[in-house]
């Protein structure tokens, strides 16, 4: 399992170069990958990912299994298919006291994010953020398959935000079953999201936007945010510029090389309470 671990900090740490971590953009999420998966959320030792948030000797697995009482730090923001980690890095200093996790299925890309976070922590070790020594202590990444193993990492109602930023549209009809948003998976997302939690979606592919919106609107545990609510969310403006894919979309639009019309479409949905019988 890819995890962020670092040695003694040094300000001379260099950020990794993407050219050494390049990997094909598409990955079959239904294939069997060699992954180290926890059998239950209690088996995850989050102290290895966020050491500054856990006191020495604290067993983070015992903290994570608590689904009702908030007795310790838990991951609250999840970027599914986090790519090269741009959104995690951007949000880290916005919410310095909130633990965030990226899930990425591609091994080289997940390794890049891990190395990037280690370098950022070392570069900013002498700075303070959110009352803690050192920046970027609240973000990490795991290499895993969110379509298969999400409940292995999180308990019911644990997350406050889930992000699906420029997900693979899998254009061919027979590959639509690979899309990260579908009726079955939405029930899993509703399980790990707390009531009031937000799902963020963004894509430059019209068909993918329509697909995600229609599936989320059809699910009884999600409701779409109004335009006013979307505009008031401070995270939304970061969706356009923070990710590698978002930057590529902007470059392609300028060159007239985008899929479809090149416009970027955002939709946010709130996790609501289960309807009364």
Active-site residue list:
168
Concatenated DSSP letters of the chain? -------S--TT--PPPGGGS---S---TTS-------SSGGG--GGGT-GGGS-TT--HHHHHT-SSS--S--EEEEEET-TTSHHHHHHHTTSTTSEEEEEE--HHHHHHHHHHHHHHHHHTTTSEETTEESSSTTEEEEE--HHHHGGGT--TT-EEEEEEES-----SGGGGGG-S--HHHHHHHHHHEEEEEEEEEEES-HHHHHHHHHHHHHSTTEEEPPHHHHHH-TTHHHHHHSSHHHHHHHHHHHHT-SSTT---EEEEEEE-PPPP-
């Amino acid at each position: 399992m890819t995890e962020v671990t670092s040695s003694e900090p040094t300000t001379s740490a260099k950020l990794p170069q993407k050219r050494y971590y390049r990997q094909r953009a598409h990955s079959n999420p239904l294939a069997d990958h060699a992954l180290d998966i926890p059998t239950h959320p209690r088996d995850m030792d989050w102290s290895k990912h966020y050491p500054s948030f856990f006191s020495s000797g604290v067993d983070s697995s015992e903290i994570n299994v608590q689904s009702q009482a908030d007795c310790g730090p838990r991951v609250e923001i999840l970027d599914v298919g986090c790519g090269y980690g741009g959104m995690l890095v951007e949000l880290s200093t916005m919410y310095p006291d909130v633990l965030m996790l990226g899930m990425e299925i591609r091994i080289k890309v997940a390794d890049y994010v891990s190395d990037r976070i280690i370098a950022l922590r070392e570069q900013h070790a002498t700075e303070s953020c959110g009352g803690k020594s050192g920046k970027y202590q609240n973000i990490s990444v795991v290499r895993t398959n969110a379509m298969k193993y999400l409940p292995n990492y999180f308990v019911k109602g644990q997350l406050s935000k889930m992000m699906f930023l420029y997900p693979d549209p899998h254009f061919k009809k027979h590959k639509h079953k690979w899309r990260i948003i579908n009726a079955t998976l939405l029930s899993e997302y509703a399980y790990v999201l707390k009531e009031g939690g937000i799902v963020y979606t963004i894509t430059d592919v019209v068909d993918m936007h329509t697909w995600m919106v229609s599936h989320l609107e059809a699910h009884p545990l999600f409701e779409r945010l109004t335009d006013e609510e979307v505009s008031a969310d401070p995270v939304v403006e970061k969706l356009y510029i923070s990710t590698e894919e978002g930057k590529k979309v902007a470059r392609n639009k300028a060159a007239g090389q985008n899929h479809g019309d090149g416009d970027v479409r955002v939709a946010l949905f709130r996790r609501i309470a289960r309807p009364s019988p």
